Amino acid sequence: MASDTDTKRASFRVAFGLLAGAAIAIAGAAWAIGSAARDVFLAQEEEIIPVIAGSDLDRLPAIMRGNRLAETTSMVRGLPQRAAPPRMCEMPDDYFDELEELQPREPGYTKRNEYVRRYQPRRGFLNERELRAAKVAWHYFEKFTMEETGLANSVGNYPSTTLWDTASYMAATVAAYELCIIEKPEFDGRMTRLLTTIKGLDLFRKELPNKVYHTKTGEKVDYTNKPGEIGFSALDIGRFLVWMRIIKNRYSYLGNTIDSVLLKWDYTNVIDSEGVMFGAYVDTETNETVYAQEGRLGYEEYAAKGFALWGFRPILAHRAEPFLTASIFGVQIPYDGRDPRIFHSQNYVVTESYLQDGLELGFDMPHDDSSPDWLHSDGWRAEFADRIYQVQENRWRRTGFMTARSEHNVKGPPYFTYDTIFSDGYPWNTVTPRGDYVPDHAAVASKAALGLWALWDTEYTDVLYEAIIELYDPENGMYEGLYERGQGRVEIYTANNNGIILTSLLHKVQGKILTPYTGATEVWFTAFRDQDARVRRNLPDPPTERDWLPALRHSVQTEADY
């Protein structure tokens, strides 16, 4: 009995020893593997990636940001930049034979909210009638540019102008050169004279250019052309910035001059941190500057893109909201939803702002330097523009009234009218700035007719073309328009009308007017880096992809709405 018990005990001890040895062996193996794995992982974590100065990983201090290039779609997406077209007289005869944009495509939005329009623009060389119209339109500027300042009169021989109309003069000069109406010496002379004058303008309270300047003296004046100051207009400045960018991108040798003009200005109050644009006026009682949000649907987005082209971020100004729609001849016409009774600013729907966006910017986003002309990266702008066109064609088809509505000057009181598609709750409302309803001043605006003709190649715009293309006085330029009620021509000549007509004709030849920037770093972004001026004047840094304005879409009207 005793030996059995001893034998069992010995066996138990052997088994226990084996088990303990196995456990120790497993634990040792686990430790060895864990240690090896830890060494491997820790070795990766400790790897150092060098940050190259100026690279994406380099979080640049403010003083250095100017060295960075503004990011565009071609840089970010690795797409080829759009090519700048040659002057008309330098184009080969078969230039338009193989144009990609002339191929028909399915309309609608893309995944990136780009938009393909249902309509094609007109492209081709100017024919004899169009070239004559271009020369007559340019003659306006030959005649009414003041030698003393290089500024062109807004209206005939009345010696005053705004930045908006000065941009029209710049547009006309670019078109005249690109259409081979003038040559480079004249183009350079005019541009240099103009930019020098603009740089020397006395600003409104040391901020931005006054709304109006005397074209002979260059003095800032009020609306009656007497020395004084009114304030500044964000919309006028926005359009001016569009054309400054166009000229800088096309003619890089003017870049330094252009930058020096814009670097003199103070952008502190014209755009806020949320991207809202503000104009300024003077309180007549206190003589203090009052800043008020400026711009309504149509003009506001166009001007916002002008600011964005220079690195600002007018994100709210560029959005369509708040907007409403009104059904006119089956088309849902978008109009600004801000109540005029509260904001004391009318929501005029006219053709002009959409035309300028289409002709000059191709309905594209400011950072887009690569999309073809048939693809519009600012999609909703192109889609809204199609509605603006469609409702005018529908009116013509339903009522017989040729319709190409815009704001325009008139001869005599009230001097200026908003000839709208919709405003103040009424369709086809023609009103004066003070609000009078003046239907007798309704007209086919020459600039609107030619702009529609350039961007919408349709039977209707052929009719508009026939109505307008010979509507000129060879001594003074293109007439402002043709009265809708049969009173004849709007016998007045303006810089804006002739400038947009030239832009429309240039678009036929070259397509989108804005060309990509082909230079490297810009003085606009590098200047004053060693001072606090950039902060004080709210000068922007070169935009990165994060700073791009968002591309949005809105619901598309698919069928007529009555």
Partner 1 sequence: MKKLLLTTALAAFVAPSAHAQTATPPPAATDTRPAGAEAFTPENAILNTAIPFAVGAREAQQTLRSAFGWPTFQEGLVQGVYFRFDPDGYARFSPSPRLDTDVFEVICRARTYTCMARKGPMGLVLTSDGRVQMQIDQAQATDTFALNDGFSELQIPPRLNGILDPQMEILLSGGGTLVIRRNGEVFEELSLQGFSAVLAYLRWVAARQDYSVLPRDWPVPNGTAPSVSTTNPGTWPNATLRSAPVLQGSFTPGSEAAAAATVTTDTPEMAALRSEVSLLRDLLLAQTGGTPPAALPATIPVTISPAITPMSPSQNGAVIGDPLGQTAPMGTIATQLDALRQDMGLSDGQTTVPHTTSFGTHAASHGTQDALGMAAKPREADTAAMDDGTAELRHLRYLTSEMGLDGKTALLILQMSMASASGEPLVPSSLQPSASATILQELAEAMAPSGAAAEPVQELFTAARAEDEYDLLGTYFRSVLERN
Least CB distance to partner 1 at residue 332 (A):
24
Least CB distance to partner 1 at residue 58 (A):
46
Candidates 475, 519, 521, 533: give the one binding partner 1 (CB under 8 A): 475
How many CA atoms are closer than 13 Å to the CA of 496, on its beta-carbon side? 25
Closest to partner 1 by CB, 321 vs 440, is: 440
Closest to partner 1 by CB, 496 vs 515, is: 496
User: Residue 445 forms beta bridges with which residues?
Assistant: 481
Residue 486 contacts residue 332 (beta carbons within 8 Å):
no
Closest to partner 1 by CB, 252 vs 432, is: 432
Contacts of 100 (CB under 8 A, 6+ apart): 372, 374
User: Which among 160-168, 309-317, 499-507, 554-562 is the span making contact with partner 1, rule CB under 8 A?
Assistant: 160-168
Binding mask 380-419 for partner 1 (x = CB under 8 A): ---------------------------x-xxxxxxxx-x-
Interatomic CA distance for residues 4 and 401, integer angstroms = 123
Burial-class residue 81 by CB neighbours within 10 Å (0-12, 13-18, 19+): middle
State the chain's maximal CA–CA distance in angstroms: 140
Closest to partner 1 by CB, 222 vs 266, is: 222
Candidates 101, 202, 272, 491: give the one binding partner 1 (CB under 8 A): 491
Closest to partner 1 by CB, 206 vs 226, is: 226
User: Which among 145-153, 267-275, 322-330, 520-528 is the span making contact with partner 1, rule CB under 8 A?
Assistant: 145-153
User: Which among 169-177, 247-255, 362-370, 471-479 is the span making contact with partner 1, rule CB under 8 A?
Assistant: 471-479
149 touches partner 1 (CB under 8 A): no
Return the amino acid letter for 488.
G
227 touches partner 1 (CB under 8 A): no
144 touches partner 1 (CB under 8 A): yes
User: Which among 363-371, 463-471, 473-481, 501-509 is the span making contact with partner 1, rule CB under 8 A?
Assistant: 473-481
372 touches partner 1 (CB under 8 A): no
Closest to partner 1 by CB, 455 vs 492, is: 492
- Whether omega for the bond prior to residue 314 falls within 30 degrees of 0, making it cis, is no
Using CB under 8 A as the binding criterion, the count of chain residues that bind partner 1 stands at 57
- Of 272-331, binders to partner 1 (CB under 8 A) are 279, 281, 284
Least CB distance to partner 1 at residue 490 (A):
8
Contacts of 2 (CB under 8 A, 6+ apart): none
Interatomic CA distance for residues 217 and 159, integer angstroms = 9
Q: Is 291 helix (H, G, I), strand (E, B) or coil?
A: strand
Torsion of CA 350, 354, 356, 360, to 10 degrees: 180
Least CB distance to partner 1 at residue 170 (A):
16
Tokens for 20, please give them. Answer: 């303990």
- Of 71-130, binders to partner 1 (CB under 8 A) are none
Interatomic CA distance for residues 306 and 240, integer angstroms = 8
Candidates 196, 217, 225, 526: give the one binding partner 1 (CB under 8 A): 225
User: Which among 120-128, 329-337, 429-437, 462-470 is the span making contact with partner 1, rule CB under 8 A?
Assistant: 429-437
- Buried b / exposed e across 316-337, counting CB within 10 Å, b at 16+? bbbbbeebebbebbebbbbbbe
483 touches partner 1 (CB under 8 A): yes
Tokens for 394, please give them. Answer: 């529908």
Candidates 14, 437, 531, 561: give the one binding partner 1 (CB under 8 A): 437
Candidates 72, 73, 154, 497: give the one binding partner 1 (CB under 8 A): 154
User: Residue 213 forms beta bridges with which residues?
Assistant: 161, 220
Helix (H) or strand (E) holding 292: strand 289-293
Tell me which residue of 228, 252, 426 sits closest to 326, measured CA to CA. 426
Closest to partner 1 by CB, 155 vs 271, is: 155
Strands (E), 304-438: 323-328, 331-336, 375-376, 407-409, 416-419, 422-423, 426-427, 430-431
Closest to partner 1 by CB, 371 vs 423, is: 423
Residues lying near partner 1 in the complex (CB under 8 A) are found at 143-144, 146-147, 153-162, 164-165, 212, 216, 222-226, 230, 279, 281, 284, 407, 409-416, 418, 424, 433-437, 439-440, 473, 475-477, 480, 483, 485, 487-488, 491-493
